[in-house]
Amino acid sequence: MSQDLKATIRAHIESHYPALYLITHEESDADTLVRELAEDRKIFEWNLASGLVNFENKQPLSKWCDLSDALANLLDQEFTRDSFIVIRDAHLGLRDQPVAVARLKALITKVLAEHEFSVTIFLVSSRSYIPPELEKFITLFDMPLPDEDMIRGIIREHVEAYGLEIDDTTLEKLTLAFQGLTRYEIGQLINRGYQQDGKIDLDDLDLVHAEKQQIIKKSGTLEMLTVREKLEDIGGLEKLKPWLKQKAAVMADWPAARAFGVEPPKGVMIVGMPGCGKSMTAKATATLFNLPLLKLDMGSLMGKYVGESEGNMRRALQVAEAVSPCVLWVDEVEKAFVGIGSGGNGSEVATRLFGYFLTWMQEKTKQVFVIATANDISALPPELLRKGRFDEIFYVDFPKEAERTEIFRVHLERRKKMNARIQLDRLAKATTHYSGADIESIVKEAIEQAFLDGRVPLDTERLLNIVKATHPLGEVMKDKVQDYKKRFESMKIKEAS
């Protein structure tokens, strides 16, 4: 348990904050914390499984009762000394339970009016759920997952308990791999590893990876993508590519880079025109870094309860940290943060989500390289674009002539259709305002036609005819594109090419 967190919570207790909400994956950690803070206070506890129980041995004190009855009981109590009230499974006990919410509010009011004794209510849960009526009374604390020192300690405890030994390299590698997991999960994995072969060694890393895959699947907000895109498959973006290569070199040799004083890479924001290679770059970066690619679905974070969306984001980011080192791709980042600061309920959630994301970006210590992609920069709050959040922000414009040559080449070669009859320079000249996606569909269409015409080789004329018959995105969305362009230029965002 971090001493800082304990000291902060103690300060809140001493300042008579009535209700503290502890988010924790490990109930036993919350118990230890409450016990340490209690000193000689009396502790009352309610949990969903057994009702009111003895805090120490968890034996029921009476017949099972729901939270609202337990709170009625506590409301009747005369407090005769300083006390703690622990409400476990708080999110289950309060969700859709208006009577329980009302009684908790009444109890908080009673606690606030109590001058002789200090009473603190702890709400303990694995996820945050704070009904709006209680928001102003409750302070939220997130109990962190074990840090490196604690993980080392947990491994050593198990090694000793099994009467084994462990060398420093294995200890360090396992410590890094176990990051992002709870104490319980780490213990379970070590036990399973030991049961497999009677050892605690690097073979157990496979188990750790499998466990992390499970966590991603269960999260519902993250997806692990299998990618095969390479940087060489992208035509153009000649300024963005070397920048990414530089970060890749740092990530690949991170322990040495850190020791030398290099700042940890945070990530990059890529904004710009649709179909011009932003998603492709995110995927190619994971290949370049040789790291797993996690995609965060912003839409799936939105929950209908207060605190639920932040809870989802918190868990998603914790999972990303658990899988670190990794690349975290946040696609269409503008969609999640739209309407920030404009008032109204949805915007409040967005504002808080955004605040959480920014703080995480600022403070993250794990090797999670973030790639945020966006089309509509006007919807993005300026704080996100401020320097220091991301290492760099790049603007991807429609490809220039030389880039279009490359994009044609890449797509023709990928499909093994490049030949001497194709003059790339003529194609590039004829495709001003065409996006990479437009060019790809021209190539695909040409191949299909050539097949239907008797499997003939492709030539420039066929491709040009299709170009003429195609309406490029840059023209279809002309006004919007002009508007984006002006904004990017006025904000002096670095061009990717």
Q: Does 333 bind ligand ATP (CB under 6 A)?
A: no
Residue 222's contacts (CB-CB under 8 Å, 6 or more residues apart) are 216, 294, 295, 296, 297, 316, 319, 320
Q: Please select the residue that binds ligand ATP; options are 93, 131, 180, 236, rule is CB under 6 A.
A: 236
**Strand segments (E) across 343-437:** 368-374, 392-396
427: tokens are: 């194609």
392-396 vs 267-272, strand pairing mode:
parallel
Beta bridge partners of residue 296, listed in sequence order: 222, 330
Q: Does 375 bind ligand ATP (CB under 6 A)?
A: yes
Q: Please select the residue that binds ligand ATP; options are 211, 310, 397, 440, rule is CB under 6 A.
A: 440
Q: Which residue has the tokens 């003939």?
A: 456
User: Shortest distance, CB of residue 457 to ligand ATP, whole angstroms?
Assistant: 22
User: Shortest distance, CB of residue 415 to ligand ATP, whole angstroms?
Assistant: 11
Helix (H, G, I), strand (E, B) or coil at 328: strand
The mark string for 98-137 relative to ligand ATP (x by CB under 6 A, - otherwise) is: ----------------------------------------
Q: Does 235 bind ligand ATP (CB under 6 A)?
A: yes
Q: Which stretch, 97-105, 231-239, 376-384, 448-456, contacts ligand ATP (CB under 6 A)?
A: 231-239
User: Shortest distance, CB of residue 485 to ligand ATP, whole angstroms?
Assistant: 15
User: How many whole angstroms separate alpha carbon 204 and alpha carbon 370?
Assistant: 28
Q: Does 472 bind ligand ATP (CB under 6 A)?
A: no
In this complex, which beta carbon is closest to ligand ATP, that of residue 45 or of residue 332?
332
In this complex, which beta carbon is closest to ligand ATP, that of residue 236 or of residue 292?
236
Q: Does 276 bind ligand ATP (CB under 6 A)?
A: yes
Q: Does 180 bind ligand ATP (CB under 6 A)?
A: no
442: tokens are: 């021209």
Residue 347's contacts (CB-CB under 8 Å, 6 or more residues apart) are 339, 340, 341
Q: Does 277 bind ligand ATP (CB under 6 A)?
A: yes
User: How many whole angstroms separate alpha carbon 150 and alpha carbon 169?
Assistant: 17
User: Shortest distance, CB of residue 282 to ligand ATP, whole angstroms?
Assistant: 8
Q: Please select the residue that binds ligand ATP; options are 103, 127, 278, 389, rule is CB under 6 A.
A: 278
Q: Which residue has the tokens 């003059």?
A: 423
Contacts by residues 192-201 (CB-CB < 8 Å, ≥ 24 positions apart): 194/158, 194/162, 199/164, 200/155, 200/158, 200/159, 200/162, 200/164, 200/166, 200/170, 200/174, 201/166, 201/170
- Report how many residues bind ligand ATP under the rule CB under 6 A: 19
In this complex, which beta carbon is closest to ligand ATP, that of residue 51 or of residue 236?
236
User: Shortest distance, CB of residue 435 to ligand ATP, whole angstroms?
Assistant: 6
User: How many whole angstroms separate alpha carbon 357 and alpha carbon 470?
Assistant: 40
Q: Please select the residue that binds ligand ATP; options are 108, 200, 301, 410, rule is CB under 6 A.
A: 410
Count Cα atoms within 13 angstroms, Cβ side, for 244. 29
User: Shortest distance, CB of residue 339 to ligand ATP, whole angstroms?
Assistant: 20
Q: Which stretch, 125-133, 254-262, 278-286, 426-434, contacts ligand ATP (CB under 6 A)?
A: 278-286
Residue type, 422: I
239 close to 361: Cβ distance less than 8 angstroms: no
Q: Does 274 bind ligand ATP (CB under 6 A)?
A: yes
User: How many whole angstroms separate alpha carbon 213 and alpha carbon 46?
Assistant: 34
Q: 355: closest CA among 400, 394, 387, 307?
A: 307
Q: Which stretch, 16-24, 180-188, 433-441, 482-490, contacts ligand ATP (CB under 6 A)?
A: 433-441
Q: Please select the residue that binds ligand ATP; options are 22, 380, 422, 437, rule is CB under 6 A.
A: 437
Cis preceding linkage at 325, omega within 30: yes
Q: Which stretch, 69-77, 255-263, 269-277, 464-472, contacts ligand ATP (CB under 6 A)?
A: 269-277
Q: Please select the residue that binds ligand ATP; options are 166, 280, 353, 442, rule is CB under 6 A.
A: 280
User: How many whole angstroms separate alpha carbon 295 and alpha carbon 370?
Assistant: 10
Residue 369's contacts (CB-CB under 8 Å, 6 or more residues apart) are 247, 251, 265, 266, 267, 285, 289, 291, 325, 326, 327, 328
Residue 90's contacts (CB-CB under 8 Å, 6 or more residues apart) are 21, 123, 124, 125, 129
Q: Which stretch, 119-127, 137-145, 165-173, 234-242, contacts ligand ATP (CB under 6 A)?
A: 234-242
Q: Within positions 385 to 404, which residues make up the interface with ligand ATP, using CB under 6 A?
A: 399
In this complex, which beta carbon is closest to ligand ATP, that of residue 234 or of residue 293?
234
Q: Please select the residue that binds ligand ATP; options are 325, 436, 472, 474, rule is CB under 6 A.
A: 436
In this structure, the dihedral spanned by the alpha carbons of residues 424, 495, 491 and 337, taken in order and rounded to 10 degrees, is: 90
Nearest residue relative to ligand ATP (C-beta):
436
In this complex, which beta carbon is closest to ligand ATP, that of residue 18 or of residue 436?
436
Q: Does 407 bind ligand ATP (CB under 6 A)?
A: yes
User: Shortest distance, CB of residue 190 to ligand ATP, whole angstroms?
Assistant: 42
User: Shortest distance, CB of residue 332 to ligand ATP, whole angstroms?
Assistant: 7
Q: Does 146 bind ligand ATP (CB under 6 A)?
A: no
- Contacting residues toward ligand ATP, per CB under 6 A: 234-237, 274-280, 373, 375, 399, 407, 410, 436-437, 440
